């Protein structure tokens, strides 16, 4: 299985801050890396697919970058509705796997 190591596991930030979340794969996954936001009691919401393509309707303050094994989700100018848990996912090979999650809360 391909392991995805997400870091940090949690972070505290203020509205307006820029934050970055890292996702490192245990082997190359080309650009088959997706990012999700999840709020308590809700299903994951797709933010970015194929490393850097913004899903329709997602604000442009979310961006993704990377290749190979190292990937980053960046949220510029955090908004109150962005406080949530974020997950990366690889769909390069079976079984698909998810990172352990990064909880973003209010400082």
Partner 1 sequence: QVQLQESGPGLVRPSGTLSLTCAVSGASIRSSNWWSWVRQSPGKGLEWIGEIVHSGSTNYNPSLQSRVTMSVDKSKNLFSLDLRSVTTADTAVYYCARYTMGSSWYFPDSWGQGTLVIVSS
- Half-sphere exposure for 30 (CA within 13 Å, toward CB): 6
32 to 61: interface string for partner 1, x by CB under 8 A: x-x-------xxxxx--xx--x-x------
Angle CA 61–73–15, to nearest 5: 50
64 scored as a contact of partner 1 (CB under 8 A): no
Bridge partners, residue 75, by sequence? 19, 62
81 scored as a contact of partner 1 (CB under 8 A): no
9 scored as a contact of partner 1 (CB under 8 A): no
Positions touching partner 1 (CB under 8 A) are 1, 30-32, 34, 42-46, 49-50, 53, 55, 87, 89, 91, 94-101
């Amino acid at each position: 299985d391909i392991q995805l190591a997400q870091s940090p596991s949690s972070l505290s930030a203020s509205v307006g801050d820029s934050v970055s979340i890292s996702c490192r794969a245990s082997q190359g996954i080309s650009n088959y890396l997706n990012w999700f936001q999840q709020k308590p009691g809700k299903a994951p919401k797709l933010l970015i697919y194929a490393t850097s393509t913004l899903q329709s309707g997602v604000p442009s303050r979310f961006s993704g970058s990377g290749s190979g094994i190292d990937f980053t989700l960046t949220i510029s100018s955090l908004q109150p509705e962005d406080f949530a848990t974020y997950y990366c996912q690889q769909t390069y090979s079976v079984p698909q796997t998810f990172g352990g999650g990064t909880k973003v809360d209010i400082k």
